[in-house]
Amino acid sequence: MALKPARLQWSENGDLESLDYGDVYFQRGAGFAESDYVFLRHNNIAARFTALGANSFSIAELGFGTGMNFLLTAARFLEHAPPDAQLVYASIEKHPIPAEMLAQIYAQFTAQIPEAAPICAEIIAQYPPLIEGFHTLLLAGGRIRLMLCFGDVADVLPQVSGQFDAWYLDGFSPAKNPDMWQENLFPLIASRTKSGGTLATFSVTGHMRRALKTLGFDVQKVKGFGIKWSMTAAQKTGMPPAATGKKHIAILGAGIAGCGAAHALARRGHSVTLIDARNGLAHETSGNPIGILYPKITAEPSAMGALHAHGFCYTRMLCAALPVASWRASGVLHIDKDSDETLRHQKQVENNGLPAEYAFHDTQGLHQPMAGYLSPPDLCAVLAASPRVKRILNQQVHSLSHDGAQWHITDATGSGICTADAVIIALGNHSATMTGAKWLPLQSLRGQITYIRPTPRSAEMAEVICHEGYIAPPVDGLQYIGATFQKEPVATPEIRSEDHAENINKLNAHLPQLAVTMDDVAGGRTGYRATTPDKLPMAGAAPDVAALLENFADVRAGADAAGRDIPAPPHLYISTGYGAHGMSGAPLCGEIIAAMISDEPLNVPASLAEALMPARFLLRDLKRKKI
* Residues 216 and 254 reside in one and the same domain: no
pLDDT at 408: 97
CA distance 99 to 186: 31
Let me know whether 88 and 172 are in one domain.
yes
Instruction: Identify whether 472 is part of a domain.
Output: no
| Residue that terminates a domain, selected from 236, 271, 287 | 236
Do 147 and 263 sit in the same domain of this protein? no
> How high is the mean pLDDT of the chain?
93
Residue 71 lies in a domain: yes
Q: How far apart are CA 269 and CA 544, in angstroms?
A: 28
Closest CA to 203 of 237, 226, 242, 229: 229
- Considering the domain architecture, whether residues 312 and 229 belong to the same structural domain is answered as no
Is residue 286 domain-resident? yes
Range of the domain at 115: 8-236
Q: Are residues 408 and 297 located together in one domain of the fold?
A: yes
Alpha-helical (H) ranges within 81-181 are 99-112, 117-126, 153-156
Q: Which pLDDT belongs to residue 27?
A: 63
The four Cα atoms 178, 38, 31, 162 give a dihedral, to 10 degrees, of -70
pLDDT digits (tens, 9 = 90+) for 115-149: 889 999 999 999 999 999 999 999 999 999 999 99
| Statement to judge: residues 53 and 91 lie in one domain | yes
Quick: pLDDT tens for 306-318. 999 999 999 999 9
Q: What is the pLDDT of residue 560?
A: 93
Q: What predicted TM-score, i.e. pTM, was given to this entire model?
A: 0.95
> What is the per-residue pLDDT for 244?
82
pLDDT at position 174: 66
CATH number for position 573: 3.50.50.60
Same-domain status, 116 and 174: yes
| Residue 583 belongs to some domain of the structure | yes
User: CATH number, domain at 58?
Assistant: 3.40.50.150
**373-413, pLDDT tens digit by residue?**
999 999 999 999 999 999 999 999 999 999 999 999 999 99
Task: Say yes or no: 296 and 383 in one domain.
Answer: yes
Q: Is residue 41 part of a domain?
A: yes
Instruction: Judge if 250 and 215 occupy the same domain.
Output: no
Could you give the CA distance from residue 217 to residue 208 in angstroms, rounded to a whole number?
11
Do 266 and 213 fall within a single domain? no
Helical H runs in 291-366? 303-321, 339-352
pLDDT at position 172, please?
57
Q: 63-95 b/e with 16+ CB inside 10 Å = b?
A: bbbbbbbbbbbbbbbbebbeeebbbbbbbbbbb
Overall number of domains in the chain? 2
* Residues 258-268: tens digit of each pLDDT: 999 999 999 99
The 10 Å CB-count burial string (b at 16+, else e) for 381-393 is bbbbebebbbeee
For residue 127, what are the contacts with CB-CB under 8 A and spacing of at least 6? 99, 102, 137
- Whether 536 has a pLDDT exceeding 70, the answer reads yes
- Residue 397 vs residues 394, 400, 434, 539, 567: alpha-carbon distances, Å: 10, 8, 8, 20, 25
Query: What are the b/e assignments for 271-308, b being 16+ CB within 10 Å?
Result: bbbbbbebeebbbbbbbbbbbbbbbbbbbeeebbbbbb
Instruction: Say what the pLDDT of residue 28 is.
Output: 65
For position 31, what pLDDT does the model report?
78
Task: Check pLDDT > 70 for residue 473.
Answer: yes
Provide φ and ψ at 515, rounded to 5°: 55, 50
Q: CA angle 193-195-197, nearest 5°?
A: 55
